[in-house]
Amino acid sequence: MAEKIIIGSDHGGYKLKNEIIKHLQSEYEVEDLGCYSEESCDYPMIAKAVSQKVIGSNCKGILVCGTGIGMSISANRFKGIRASHCTDTFSARMTRLHNDSNILCLGERITGIGLALDIVDIWLSTPFEGERHKRRVDMIDGKV
């Protein structure tokens, strides 16, 4: 069974979200939690829905808005979520290696489609290194 990715966007990230879904569908099971048009909507509600699905599961999440910042702030309010706003491939790799990021946040208005898809691929394919980083992630999650 393919790994499951939970994805969501607001109206500012709607087009990029759909490009990401098309890009991932052949290798992943993708669950789209909205929005479903470019009509204005509230990003905190989408971030909440995706975060709740990711918490306690083996799934990773992707959130897209105009800048990625609002989604990142909203998602990180939930215990167990480590959402990372990435605008480059190095950050995408490092946030998985060292922080075990479980939600990737992107901005349609600041990151082009080609770069965004590269960021997604690197983020999804990079494993968590564990070891010394596990202790720090446990601190972030309030376990230590």
Predicted confidence (pLDDT) per residue in 67-101, tens digit: 999 999 999 999 999 999 999 999 999 999 999 99
**Catalytic, out of 59, 65, 86, 105:** 65
Name every residue whose Cβ is closer than 8 Å to that of residue 15 and which is 6 or more positions away in sequence.
Answer: 38, 108
**What is the spatial distance between Cα 22 and Cα 99, in angstroms, rounded to a whole number?**
27
The pLDDT assigned to 53 comes to 97
Q: Which entry of 23, 41, 98, 133 is annotated as an active-site residue?
A: 98
| CA dist., res. 39 & res. 47, Å (int) | 17
* C-beta separation of 53 from 29 below 8 A: no
Phi and psi, residue 25, nearest 5°: -55, -30
85 is catalytic: no
C-beta separation of 53 from 31 below 8 A: yes
Check: CB of residue 117 under 8 Å from CB of residue 24.
no
Low-confidence ranges of the chain (pLDDT < 50): none
pTM: 0.95
For all residues of the chain together, what is the average pLDDT? 95
How far apart CA 30 and CA 24 sit, in angstroms, is 7
User: Does the annotation mark 23 as catalytic?
Assistant: no
